[in-house]
Amino acid sequence: MKKTVHLVQQKENVFYKIMESPIGTLLIETSKEALLSISFADKGLMVAIEPAPHPILDEVIVQLKEYFAGQRSRFDIPLKCKGSDFEKKVWQATCEIPYGKTRSYGELAESINNKKAYRAVGGALNKNPIPFIIPCHRILKSDGSLGGYAFGESLKRRLLELEGCCISLVK
C-alpha cells in the first residue's frame, strides 16, 4: 500500500513540487538547503499547491527521472532527514549500499555496530522520508526474500529489477 500525503497548506521556507514518475505521482519537499522528503501524492488533492521554483527541487526531479530511466546510479542531492539518531544512522548506512547491490536487515544492523537490532533497522527503514535516494528497497531478509517495504513488495521488486539486482534471490 502506498503512503499518500494530503497537503493543504504550504509551509514557510519549504518548497514543493509534484512529479509524475513511472511509479506514480510524487510530492517532493525541500528547504532552501536540502531535500526533506519524497512521498506519493494524491494529485487530486494537490491542486492547492503552486509549484515553487527552486534549484534543489529542479535537480531532484532531474536526478529521479534519470534514475527511473536507468541512467543514474548515484544521487548528488543534499539531504536533511528528521528522525532519531538511530534512524539517521540506519539511513546513512543504507546510502552506502551501492547501486545494484543488496544487504540483509542483519547485515545493515551489523554495519552500524548493533547486530541484534535488525528488527529496529526495519522499523527505521519504514520511516525513511526520502525513498529511492535513501535506497531502503535494497534491504532484504537474510534468506534473500524481499521482506517488507513501506510502498509494497511489488514496487520493491520493480526497483531492484531496475537496478539489475540478483533478482533470482528476490522471488
Domain with CATH 1.10.10.10 in the chain: 85-169
Task: Write down the CATH number for the domain with range 4-68.
Answer: 3.30.160
Looking at residue 43, what is its pLDDT? 57
Task: Point out the catalytic residue in the list 81, 95, 136, 166.
Answer: 136
Count of alpha carbons within 13 Å of 19, Cβ hemisphere only? 22
Nearest to 28 by CA among 20, 76, 19: 19
Looking at residue 21, what is its pLDDT? 94
pLDDT band at 8 (very low <50, low <70, confident <90, very high): very low
More confident residue, 29 or 13: 29
pTM of the predicted protein model: 0.85
pLDDT band at 44 (very low <50, low <70, confident <90, very high): low
Q: Using the predicted structure, report yes or no on whether residue 73 has a pLDDT greater than 50.
A: yes
165 is catalytic: no
More confident residue, 122 or 13: 122
Class of domain 85-169: mainly alpha
Grid-cell match 521554483, residue found? 53
| Rounded (5°) CA angle 140-68-138 | 10
pLDDT band at 106 (very low <50, low <70, confident <90, very high): very high
Phi and psi, residue 35, nearest 5°: -75, 130
pLDDT digits (tens, 9 = 90+) for 81-91: 999 999 999 99
Pick from 30-34, 48-52, 140-144: least confident:
48-52
Domain with CATH 3.30.160 in the chain: 4-68
- Average pLDDT over the chain reads 86
